A and B are shown apart, each in its own frame.
Chain A
Amino acid sequence: MSNAVGPDPGAAAPSAATRRIDVEALARVEGEGALHVRIVGDTLEHVALRIYEPPRLFEGFLRGRHYTEPPDITARICGICPVAYQMSACHALEAACGVTVDGALRELRRLLYCGEWIESHALHVYMLHAPDFLGYPSGIHLAQDHRETVELGLRLKKVGNDVMVVLGGREIHPINVRLGGFYRLPRLSELRALREPLLRAREDALATVKWVAGFDFPDVEADRVFVSLSHPSEYPLNEGRLVSSRGLDVPVSAFEDHIREEHVAHSTALHATVDGEPYMVGPMARYALNFDKLSPLAQEAAREAGLGPVVRNPFQSIVVRAVETVYACDEALRILDAYEPPDHAFVEVPPRAGRGHACTEAPRGTLYHRYTINAAGMVLDARIVPPTAQSQAVIEEDVRDVVRGHLDVPTDQLQHLCEQAVRNHDPCISCATHFLKLEVERR
């Protein structure tokens, strides 16, 4: 796989003023994507984030499955955020059946989700994103010069995985999640054993905020529409209304009334809009729309890092991700300390004919599931809208801004900045692919 840089060899009369950046295989992102940029003279002509990962057609084969199966099946869409899929699937199917899971079981689900946030955010900050700011091709290379720092990051990541192992049985595709709750409750001794590592993880997360806040950030300010869940008393994970920075405030069942996916002529994939405008989901959106719901410690860490209640520089998403990691550790400790075991590991969720919707907050942003089932509990129809697909138009906008602001920069440096602009969003292309309309660009 070659990453071509330089004059466009396909142009009929290659002009020295035409520059093309083709990153045929983006590194340090989850899944397979490519980036195409064409600059003619001082004009940016074309930017496209191309998703070429082959689709796996989950919505197709979910039809005819039993309503108890989507939590395990949809987890297989993404190995990095399987809990997000399990949670959105459970909530949507429980909504279809008219069941609400609350109390200690709801808290345990939130604890499991905190584990995934810690694991996924630490992976992105240390292994995928920080190397961009420090001039290394990978976290492994970074470790050769900064071993203690990377060890701290891996230690932090491991605590997230440990939470997932206690609650879910394993880190990737947990086996203990079911409709109505869990197959088995975690043992009190196992929960108690998480406390010390989480206390240290919280300190490590605070150190992470300080570390990444000191990076050199390109001076970029982008006015984007933010979308996330919002809950009256919690930083959003499993539940909330769908809100935007333009004043949208609706129940998640109205998701498809406001979010549309359209085929934009220049693009090779569908672009999502909220009430007609491109938008982004993920840490920066959640943070801007829910800053006051962060724990006092996480708010303080953000202030000390120099962040206001809204962050508009996409390169600083790494700091926001670190602040959310502090929150996830803090929240996990709160849940552990207040935990009273419920009487049963799950509540019954008997099937009934109906339709259910849910959004939960994956590490990368809002993940929507909708299912229609019949009275026998067979899935008639499924729809899944993953976070990366929603942010794709804004990711391309960010690349355009970076190119326009750096037209005088040599092409190889510009390519690096463009790739970084994509990685700022922690895109998850395996997730996005399964539903995106695929159109292969032929030259």
Chain B
Amino acid sequence: MASQATTAPRAADPFVRAGPKPKLAVWKFASCDGCQLTLLDCEEELLAVTGQIDVAYFLEASSATVEGPYDVSLVEGSITTAHDVHRIREIRDQSGKLVVIGACATAGGIQALRNFAGPDGGPDVSAFANAVYAHPEFLEALPTSTPISEHVFVDFELRGCPIDKHQLLEVVSATLAGRKPQVPNYSVCLECKRRGAVCVMVAGGQACLGPATQAGCGALCPSFSRGCYGCFGPMEDPNMPALGERFAELGVDADGWLRALRTYNAYAGPFRKEAASVERRRS
């Protein structure tokens, strides 16, 4: 079906392998499509990559599908229906490596706000559904939006809302080569320093989630004179209470701190725990 690439592959090309081309599949659950679009946004690399990989299942891009099993599956989106729970297990069974991409797949996404919408702070989809639908009883949705790792074993979680395309290329090539992806787990602060950006919080007095947020964006918001809003989710073991105190000193009230924690990665451990502790203190 697929012809060989027209140009001779370079020896250092991470996508060059001996033997048959590895099969890649791309799957979607509840999401905006932005993370799988990131693959198509690799304009300069796309044709080189697809010359070396058999894109066996990628419905957003192709109506040709190849049966599993697949060497690598990329999964976008969160689990929000009973059917999703069943489908992700089938996908896991068919996938050598399962890599989940983006805040929906790694943390439930913004739709995980339903996980805290009940009167007791627990899961409740009806509060939101009643606001949107004339007949919410038609809705076949779970009361929660959960990350893929709550349902099946995940080989790698790539953060971001959306993911960074350079990190995506690194993760795909590392996974195919059988090595650990080089994706940093330190905070956005380090990227900011490396970039030589002036601290928006210390010098600018702006609230910034950077000290608690995992790197990967290249300190994008601070480089645009804006505080980080945490779209890559919490770094490993952040000091959330200390950052909460800093926000308070900068004039952010408890509601504002809660909203900052509850956006695209609201269900991710450290953000979730800090928000729960803020709510406990208030009640």
Contact = CB atoms under 8 A, between A and B. Distances in A.
A55 B47 CA distance: 33
Interface stretch (A155-163, A200-208, A365-373): A155-163
* A78, A141, A345 — most chain B CB neighbours (10 Å): A141
Contacts of A128: 61
A55 B63 contact: no
Contacts of B217: 170
Contacts of B81: 54
B62 interface: yes
A172 B34 contact: yes
Contacts, number: 190
A13 interface: no
Interface in A119-173: 123, 127-128, 131, 137-141, 143-144, 147, 150-151, 154-155, 157-158, 161, 169-173
B172 to A, nearest CB: 15
A72 B229 contact: yes
Nearest to B140: A440
A175 B220 contact: yes
A188 interface: no
B138 A438 contact: yes
A65 B128 CA distance: 13
A118 interface: no
B159 to A, nearest CB: 14
Given A57-B111, A66-B259, A138-B63, A143 B128 contact: no
Nearest to B138: A439
A140 B220 contact: no
A142 B135 CA distance: 44
A161 B114 CA distance: 33
A77 B62 contact: no
Interface in A267-324: none
A172 B221 contact: no
Nearest to A261: B134
Interface stretch (A22-30, A102-110, A353-361): A22-30
Interface stretch (A226-234, A246-254, A330-338, A429-437): A429-437
A238 B203 CA distance: 35
B141 A55 contact: yes
Contacts of B229: 72, 175
Contacts of A73: 110, 263
B43 A155 contact: yes
A145 to B, nearest CB: 9
Interface in A162-214: 169-173, 175-176, 178, 183-184
Which interface residue of A57, A143, A144, A439 has the most chain B CB atoms within 10 A? A57
Interface residues of B, number: 69
Contact of B2 (A27, A144, A176): A144
Interface string B100-119: 00000000011101100100
Given A173-B34, A173-B231, A183-B224, A55 B59 contact: no
Contact of B117 (A53, A61, A143, A440): A61
Contact of B62 (A58, A60, A140): A140
B125 interface: yes
B134 A79 contact: no
Given A61-B117, A76-B161, A154-B47, A141 B62 contact: yes
B127 interface: yes
B139 A138 contact: no
Nearest to A75: B32
Contacts of A27: 59-60, 62-63, 65
A111 B233 CA distance: 30
Interface SS of chain A: helix, strand, loop or mixed? loop
Given A57-B128, A437-B135, A79 B64 contact: no
Contact of A175 (B32, B46, B114, B221): B221
A80 interface: yes
Nearest to B45: A154
Given A59-B132, A141-B62, A54 B30 contact: yes
Q: Which of A55, A73, A82, A127 has the most CB of B within 10 A?
A: A55
Contacts of A150: 47
A176 B62 CA distance: 32
A56 B140 contact: no
B138 A173 contact: no
B220 A437 contact: no
Interface in A21-62: 25-32, 53-61
A55 B139 contact: yes
B161 A161 contact: no
A396 interface: no
A315 B26 CA distance: 28
B234 interface: no
B61 A171 contact: no
Residue from B31, B62, B135, B162 with most neighbouring chain A CB atoms (10 Å)? B62
A137 B29 CA distance: 22
B185 interface: no
B62 A137 contact: yes
Contacts of B55: 138, 140
Interface in B248-269: 256, 259, 263-264
Contacts of B3: 144
Nearest to A268: B138
Interface in A70-105: 72-73, 76-80, 82
Contacts of A54: 29-30, 80-81, 84, 140-141
Contacts of A56: 30, 80, 109-111, 145
B153 interface: no
B57 to A, nearest CB: 9
Interface string A389-428: 0000000000000000000000000000001000000000
Nearest to B116: A61
Contacts of A32: 28
B222 to A, nearest CB: 10
B34 A80 contact: yes
B139 A79 contact: no
- Lowest 9 A-B CB distances belong to which pairs? A79-B34, A60-B128, A138-B62, A137-B64, A27-B63, A57-B128, A56-B111, A60-B131, A158-B43
13 contacts: A57-B114, A73-B110, A78-B34, A79-B35, A128-B61, A138-B61, A139-B61, A141-B64, A147-B6, A169-B220, A175-B226, A175-B229, A183-B226
